[in-house]
Structure 1
Amino acid sequence: MTTLIDTRDLTLAYHGRTVLRDVNLSLAPGEIVTIVGPNGSGKSSLIRALIGALPPAQGHVTRKRGLKIGYVPQSLAIDPTLPLTVARFLNLPRRIGAGRVAEALRQAGVPDLAQHQMTALSGGQFQRVLLARALLSEPDILILDEATQGLDQPGAAQFYRQIEAVRRQKGCAVLMVSHDLHVVMAASDRVLCLNGHICCEGTPEIVASAPEYRALFGTGTQGALALYRHEHTHSHGPDCDHDHGHEAAE
């Protein structure tokens, strides 16, 4: 199987201080991989290195030739006095046409927002529009860096379900950085737990029961993971009473 991105013995540093060391990671087409970890664990640094914005201190990053990356950030500042519709926003910096705008919004789960003002959108709608923008490049991999920051837990769960739908429809890989442990774990094929290095990795069930993960986040996630999978299987929303006590953000 062709690897989209591959790292070997990757070490990253800021101003001479090592923030992440000896990371070996491969991303395959179509898989959903989530990166979790406490503040300062190196999550955002790893994302920056994967997209080429942060050079390795040691080791290397290899990307498939011609790799197309769609990126969904935590947030995007828009001048509240600027009249800007969703359609116009998606046509910046170059015009792409109404048909492609409509298709991207449909894929992002918000087909009726084209003529809405960007400043009038809810937090969840805004993130769906950023997702639509990322999909316009027909990416091989979608990278989401804390893309549900500021959304409540049901809103975050709905967003991740949309990501799962995108993966099914488009066949692209997905790499997510998230603090929404309870919901994002259930949406993942594979989880990497960082704390200056990869301290554990594997399926959500394996990681949730790993001693290294429990030392960082406690044991509350595993029960919520099972409950979420049950709810998801029956097409209901997530349990809004999930414990928020073990969530972490970078």
Structure 2
Amino acid sequence: MSHPEPLITADNLGLEVAGRQLLQNITLALQPGEIVTVIGPNGAGKTTLLRLLLGLTRASSGEVRRRPGLRIGYMPQRLQIDASMPMSVRRFLQLGQAQLDREQARMALQRVGAAELADASLADLSGGEMQRVLLARAASRKPQLLVLDEPTQGVDVGGQGEVYRLIAGLRDQLGCGVLLVSHDLHLVMAATDKVLCINQHICCEGHPEQVSRDPAYLELFGDKVAPYTHQHNHQHKLSGDVVGDHSCDHEQPHHPPEHRERK
């Protein structure tokens, strides 16, 4: 049985800057509809890897292959907003995307549960609201590949589970692949198909539970991380606050990805 062509492939990717090896021997392939999470300690080269895969930085060795005509939606780790320059969320979504009309901008926000923010000022958004807007912008071109660098940056724990639920929902709606960077495996265990743990090189890779038990992972992070499944029997506000009195258990026994029901 033939497999579809990967969206993006890296073969023995390496980067050396001023005699310092930042990354070496990174090999990966991301398939359509697959969520792959890159984790690793600070300074491991996670963001550098994304830049190499996106073609923003030239590799010193190895090769990156992207499917011809691949549409990529990118969500950066941080965005500096000048509070003195008023800009609405809708206008921000349309920056550099003149073809994105008013209705398309509304739909992009609706996909991430933030349609009511269209006329809000970008400078007034909370951390959780800003991440939703950035996610809406990344998904607005209906990409075949979503690349997300620390998508829960500045979001509280309750809101983080919601962001990962939204990412999985976008994967289902758009039929796209997702490559994301996270600093914390237990937060993404329930929302990823494959994990790549790096520290300048690939330490271990595989299904989330498999990686969480790998000696190389435990050496980097210890065994303090508990499996995480977001039991979504309630709703969050955009700020991450829980709406209603239903319980939320953020640390539950985890079911392997192959047992999760996919829409």
- State the TM-score, normalizing by the size of structure 2: 0.85
| 1:128 alignment counterpart | 132
Partner of 2:250: 239
Task: Tell me the matched-pair count.
Answer: 235
The alignment status of 1:17 with 2:20, answered yes or no, reads yes
Q: 1:140 maps to what in 2?
A: 144
Which whole-Å CA distance do the structure 2 matches of 1:66 and 1:94 have between them? 18
- Rounded Cα–Cα distance in structure 1 between residues aligned with 2:89 and 2:19: 42
Contact 1:154 1:238 in 2 (8 A): no
Query: Which letter does structure 1 place at the counterpart of 2:231?
Result: H
Identify the residue that residue 56 of structure 2 maps to in structure 1. Answer: 53
Q: How does 1:3-152 map to 2 (within 5 A)?
A: 3-95=6-98, 96-152=100-156
Q: Which segments of structure 1 move beyond 4 Å, counting only runs of 4 or more?
A: 233-236
Aligned residue for 1:205? 209
Contact map agreement 1:156 1:180 (CA 8 A) in 2: no
Distance in 1 (CA, whole Å) between partners of 2:147 and 2:64 is 16
Aligned to 1:173: 177
1:186 to 190, 193, 208: 190
Distance change >3 Å, CA 238–CA 88, structure 1 → 2: farther
TM-fit CA distance, 1:16 = 2.7
Question: CA RMSD, aligned part only?
Answer: 1.6
Query: CA-to-partner distance for each residue in 1:159-196, whole Å, 9 max, x for gaps?
Result: 11110111111111111111132211221100000011
The answer to which structure has the higher helix fraction is 1
Distance 2:131 2:16 in 1: 30
One-letter identity of the residue aligned with 1:220: K
Structure 2 contact 15–21 (Cα < 8 Å) conserved: yes
Whether the 8 Å contact between 1:8 and 1:25 is mirrored in structure 2 is yes
**Which structure 1 segments of 5+ residues have no match?**
241-250
Preserved CA contact (<8 Å) 1:68 1:139: yes
CA contact (8 A) 1:157 1:238 kept: no
CA-CA distance at 1:220 after TM superposition: 2.1
CA displacement 1:9-60 (0-9 Å, x = unmatched): 1111222311111111001001000000012111111100000011111111
Do the aligned residues in 1 keep the contact of 2:231 with 2:250 (CA within 8 Å)? no
Counterpart selection for 2:162 from 135, 144, 158: 158
- The residue number in structure 2 matching 1:245 is none
Higher relative contact order (CA 8 A, sep 6+): 1
Matched residues in 2 for 1:238 and 1:28: separation? 31
Asked if the contact 1:75–1:147 (Cα under 8 Å) also holds between the matched residues in 2, the reply is no
> Alignment partner for residue 216 of structure 1, among 216, 220, 230?
220
Give the Cα–Cα distance (whole angstroms) in 2 for the partners of residues 218 and 146 of structure 1: 21
Counterpart-to-counterpart distance in 1, 2:8 and 2:140 = 21
Q: 1:82 Cα deviation (Å)?
A: 1.4
Equivalent-residue separation in structure 2 for 1:17 and 1:191 (angstroms): 26
Percent identity of paired positions between Structure 1 and Structure 2: 47
Secondary structure (helix, strand or coil) at the match of 2:178 reads: strand
Q: Is the 8 A contact 1:75 1:127 kept in 2?
A: no
